Homo-oligomer: A and B are copies of this chain.
């Protein structure tokens, strides 16, 4: 399977992974949420090669996650700003941060704390059910085929996917 073909997969994970499923894109996004906007700043903070950075920024722009906006003329220079589509990735980034904070910290503890301006407290992100508000646990979720799936149960879909892959 090639990168390009991921976008056309009938799975939302696969389609999202086509956008953010490489380490540099995720690290660039992290920095975007920390208000980093410019090429040089991304480059020096991340230590990514300029070549790859240019490529990833271009991709993120083409996916509509970032937009490239001029911030001066003579010479014209641009910065990279999260679109609404990009801002909507915040839960993804926060979920990743929280998992890292829980499972990958060293003895010194978490590197960053997050304050919720609304309530003024340091918080952890919690994923809850939009209907009942309870935290979501994998075992308490049942999966159904949606309209975007070819008809059938999750098992049938799995079987089709398997057949297609062969």
Contact = CB atoms under 8 A, between A and B. Distances in A.
Query: In which size bucket is the chain A interface?
Result: 35 or more
A138 B90 contact: yes
Contact of A103 (B33, B88, B102, B110): B88
A116 interface: yes
A36 B158 CA distance: 10
Interface string A44-55: 111110000000
Given A23-B17, A125-B129, A149 B112 contact: yes
Contacts of A144: 112-115, 122
A60 to B, nearest CB: 13
Nearest to A20: B96
Contacts of A126: 127-130
Contact of A143 (B46, B112, B158): B112
Interface string A24-45: 0011001001101000010111
Nearest to A165: B47
Interface in A121-150: 121-134, 136-138, 140-149
Contact of A27 (B14, B128, B146, B147): B14
